[in-house]
Structure 1
Amino acid sequence: MTSSDLSVRVAWADDAPAIAAVQLRSWQQRYADLLPATELPSGPEAVEAAAAAWRASLVKAPDARQRVLVALAHSDVVGFVMTGPASDPDCDPLRDGALDELTVDPTRFREGHGSRLLQAAADTLVADRFVRAVCWVPSTDDATRAFLTGAGWAPDGAHRTLEAPSGSPLKEIRLHTALAAE
């Protein structure tokens, strides 16, 4: 595949089914050891429901600075990233942006899609005048943490525990990076 066959662009509403399928495939792998299988959505109905939610958010984002970018191999969506203002209480939503989800189809790892998405997300956050970005990562997700730290991100000491519907705890750590000189 040539580099001209690979790209990143802003997501369109028509991308919703592909984004949903990538997201749910990724969750099956990412959270398999962290959550019971019954809490991981799967199957055609789950994809349809997720696609409807994606379509609604892509048609009308709650904030003008919220973006979804997709990685393409030819015309196939193989990953996505969501950016926008950081919502953590200790963040300034005018200066701090967030990488809300960075997902690559598990069948397409190690093809450069994550790096392209991460760079496009950083460029988008800078264009939206954010000077710092934050990202939450499951504490046991060594691969994602290594990928981000290799790209210049670092833990900032913040951590949280989310509760799944079953009551299963999901521990996360926050990483951050400087985007632009202040």
Structure 2
Amino acid sequence: MADADVRSAVAADAAEIARIQLSTWNSAYGELLPETALNELTQEDTEQHWLEAIEDDSAKVLLAEEGGWPVGFCAGGPAPVSETTNADGGLPDDASTVGLVSTLLVEPRWGRRGHGGRLLWHLTEHLRANGLTRAITWIPESDEASMAFYRGIGWEPDGTVRTLDARGYPLRELRLTGGVELQLK
């Protein structure tokens, strides 16, 4: 494999992060999301979203590169209370030390080269450095590749489910949780 690295994203990376998101969602989530929802996503709006996220101190946005080419990214930070609520509606005892992996995407053509693991490892390092002890993420129930990735690092569904409205199409997601002490293989 060529030289691979993970670094903090900067404002100038917003366009590439938007490109990666749109490309990945269109190829990997084309069967999970309705075509109308995918078609409404624009490069300009997505780029603006990521520019704001990069400039927001409460979130960490990381970019994976291979041979100097951007191939994936992730974002996360402290989990909002609304994200940590248990399936029964109560808050877990550790709610104040839970992180949220809000996004982790690697372009499919760059998949299975360790980029996802490196991105998540660097993000969990950041979460740990900020006093967080475990993390959560939401994965579409039918996204087998992402489920396998997270289960491979020891994260499991915790029984909490939500259904999002994707332009009139219900998208059922499972919440996964796991420790922030990851080991790169």
Where does 1:74-113 land on structure 2 (aligned, <5 Å)?
Answer: 74-87=67-80, 88-90=83-85, 94-113=96-115
Q: 1:73 is matched with which residue? A: 66
Q: Which amino acid aligns with 1:19?
A: I
**What is the distance in 2 between the residues matched to 1:118 and 1:108?**
16
Q: Which amino acid aligns with 1:172?
A: E
How much is the aligned-residue C-alpha RMSD, in angstroms?
A: 1.7
Shift of 1:49: 2.4
**What is the distance in 2 between the residues matched to 1:86 and 1:54?**
18
Q: Which amino acid aligns with 2:45?
A: A
Q: 2:42 is matched with which residue? A: 46
Contact 1:139–1:172 (CA<8 Å) still a contact in 2? yes
Contact 1:26–1:105 (CA<8 Å) still a contact in 2? yes
Shift of 1:164: 1.3
**What is the distance in 2 between the residues matched to 1:16 and 1:105?**
16
Shift of 1:94: 2.7
Asked if residue 122 in structure 1 is aligned to residue 120 in structure 2, the reply is: no
Pair 1:41–1:10, CA change in 2 (3 A): farther
Q: 1:22 is matched with which residue? A: 20
Q: Which amino acid aligns with 1:84?
A: G
Pair 1:55–1:65, CA change in 2 (3 A): closer
- Amino-acid identity (%): 40
What's the CA shift string for 1:110-163, capped at 9, x where partnerless?
Answer: 111111111111111111110110010000011110111111111111111001
**What is the distance in 1 between the residues matched to 2:99 and 2:52?**
22
Contact 1:98–1:133 (CA<8 Å) still a contact in 2? yes
Asked if residue 179 in structure 1 is aligned to residue 185 in structure 2, the reply is: no
Q: Which amino acid aligns with 2:44?
A: E
Contact 1:24–1:41 (CA<8 Å) still a contact in 2? no
**What is the distance in 1 between the residues matched to 2:39 and 2:10?**
23
**What is the distance in 2 between the residues matched to 1:56 and 1:150?**
32
Pair 1:40–1:174, CA change in 2 (3 A): same
Q: Which amino acid aligns with 1:65?
A: S
Asked if residue 141 in structure 1 is aligned to residue 137 in structure 2, the reply is: no
> Residue 40 of structure 1 aligns to a residue in which SS?
helix
Q: 2:5 is matched with which residue? A: 7
Contact 2:28–2:108 (CA<8 Å) still a contact in 1? no
Shift of 1:68: 0.3
Q: TM-score, normalised by structure 2?
A: 0.86
